[in-house]
Chain A
Amino acid sequence: MSDSVMIEVKKLNKSFGDLHVLKDIDMTVKESEVVCLIGASGSGKSTLLRCINFLEFKDNGDIIIGGERVEKETHDLNEVRGKVGMVFQHFNLFPHKNVLENVIEAPIHVKKVPKEQAIKEGRELLKKVGLSDKEKVFPAKLSGGQKQRVAIARALAMKPDIMLFDEPTSALDPELVGEVLETMKELAKEGMTMVVVTHEMGFAKEVADWVVYMNDGRIVEVGHPDELFNSPKEERTRSFLDSVL
């Protein structure tokens, strides 16, 4: 595992009106690491992820992506977002475009990749997520698991350095969770740097290099999955794990 730092968050604070959702968050993610964020809903996990992709703007603190401190005033956030892929709980596929068109949209219109090449790369990505036979199908005709795999392929099409997953399996029927987690495991094996907000403790145990437990806008505990799940140091971590396991 390389030591180069991909994401560094320092003293990050974020409020929505009177609600202080992120409090002095510090976090470091190195290249090829998989970090899982766990915690009750409302604990700030998703907001943290959205701040890293600048879908929400921090109040103060630093967000350093690939060694560069990113500020909305001085940086082209579209360029930064192109390097940081995001997968959403509700897929957010483009319903008026078929599967292949969903995947090639951003490479063609943002990166100006020639159409032929974008299609070729798009097909490879669809093969990778096991949906080669669906390229002409519209999202409405897909199962939830298939939609989420298309969403993963769509994010990968921008060749991001980092992938963020915001509860990627929470909207899925139980029997469809496995196929999405399998795809994510593949990605982890290939060395993708990943930050995953999840309620799938099994996935976190198996795949994560680090697990981060958040509560009430703060990071309570960070640890290797073995440590954190089997012998948590903090009382709050223990009671959360007791309630979900």
Chain B
Amino acid sequence: MDFWTKFIDSAPIFLKGMLLTFELTIISILIAIFIGLFFAFLKISNIKVFEWIADIYIFLVRGTPLVVQIFIFYFGLTSLHISDFMAVVLGLAFHNGAYIAEIFRGAIQSIDKGQMEAGRSLGMTVGLTMRRIILPQASRRALPSLGNQFIIALKDSSLASFIGMYELFNVATTQGSLKYDYMSYLLIVAVYYLILVLFFSIIVGLIEKRMARTN
């Protein structure tokens, strides 16, 4: 059997795995964006306690391997009767939130402070100026890094296989061991990841282009 025959024969089961990988990534990254924004605001709040809380969170995430975080979330949350899927999603969101917080913080702080002053001088509150003036500019600046983090999250979701989620990587190793043919199925799964990454890169590229046009 040649490579492409194996590719086509295994397509139904890989497509299921791909759907799960896709769902894990999208849902966890959406939650991570909210977590990231929240901790970015804590970090720029100029309130010491809030800054410490954000620093501790980022330290915890950066200081431990993702696979450890996923296991902790898995065993911690499933014991509270939360589904495997949600446990992994929250683990990935917790992880990516820290990196996204740093991306947002950098983007917000890169906006000239004259923008905040201009908003304030017009009688706008800090919150309104943040929402109407600073964040639209900062998100535009954050977009390339966010897209990058998105792709990292997609690939990191393969670690969900360690707790038995039947996503892409798990499908590949299972098929490999069933058929005594690891190499073929690892190459096949690499193709699926490349397709997904390409898809997300194109989407991010389109959004970037659209945002650039309005400026």
Contact = CB atoms under 8 A, between A and B. Distances in A.
A93 B215 CA distance: 13
Interface in A98-135: 105-106, 109-111
B124 A109 contact: yes
B19 interface: no
Contact of B114 (A81, A84, A92, A138): A92
Interface residues of B, number: 20
A18 B119 CA distance: 29
B122 A154 contact: yes
A140 B215 contact: yes
A186 B74 CA distance: 69
A155 B121 contact: yes
A72 interface: no
Contacts of A110: 122-124, 128
Interface string A63-97: 00000000000000011011011101010111110
B124 A92 contact: no
B118 A78 contact: no
Contacts of A138: 215
Nearest to A90: B114
Contacts of A154: 122
A55 B121 contact: yes
Interface stretch (B91-99, B132-140, B143-151, B199-207): B132-140
B176 to A, nearest CB: 50
B123 A78 contact: yes
B9 interface: no
A109 B122 CA distance: 10
Contacts of B115: 92, 94
Given A79-B123, A81-B123, A90-B114, A95 B215 contact: yes
A109 B137 contact: no
Contacts of B136: 96
Given A78-B123, A82-B122, A106-B122, A88 B128 contact: no
Contacts of A79: 123
Contacts of A140: 215
Interface residues of A, number: 26
B140 A81 contact: no
Contact of B133 (A82, A94, A158): A94
Given A92-B117, A94-B118, A96-B136, A106 B215 contact: no
A96 B117 contact: no
Contacts of B215: 95-96, 138, 140
A85 B121 contact: yes
B16 interface: no
Interface in A129-167: 138, 140, 154-155, 158
Given A96-B137, A138-B215, A155 B122 contact: yes
Interface centre among A53, A105, A111 (most CB of B within 10 A): A105
Interface in B139-197: 140
A53 B121 CA distance: 7
A93 B117 CA distance: 11
B113 to A, nearest CB: 9
B110 interface: no
Q: Nearest 6 pairs between A and B by C-beta?
A: A82-B123, A92-B118, A106-B122, A86-B121, A92-B114, A110-B123
Interface of A: 53, 55, 78-79, 81-82, 84-86, 88, 90, 92-96, 105-106, 109-111, 138, 140, 154-155, 158
Given A92-B115, A96-B140, A110-B123, 4 more contacts: A55-B117, A85-B121, A92-B118, A93-B118
26 contacts: A53-B121, A78-B120, A88-B114, A90-B112, A90-B114, A92-B115, A92-B117, A92-B118, A93-B118, A95-B137, A96-B214, A105-B122, A105-B133, A106-B119, A106-B122, A106-B123, A106-B124, A109-B124, A109-B128, A109-B132, A110-B122, A110-B123, A110-B124, A140-B215, A154-B122, A155-B122
Interface of B: 112, 114-115, 117-125, 128, 132-133, 136-137, 140, 214-215
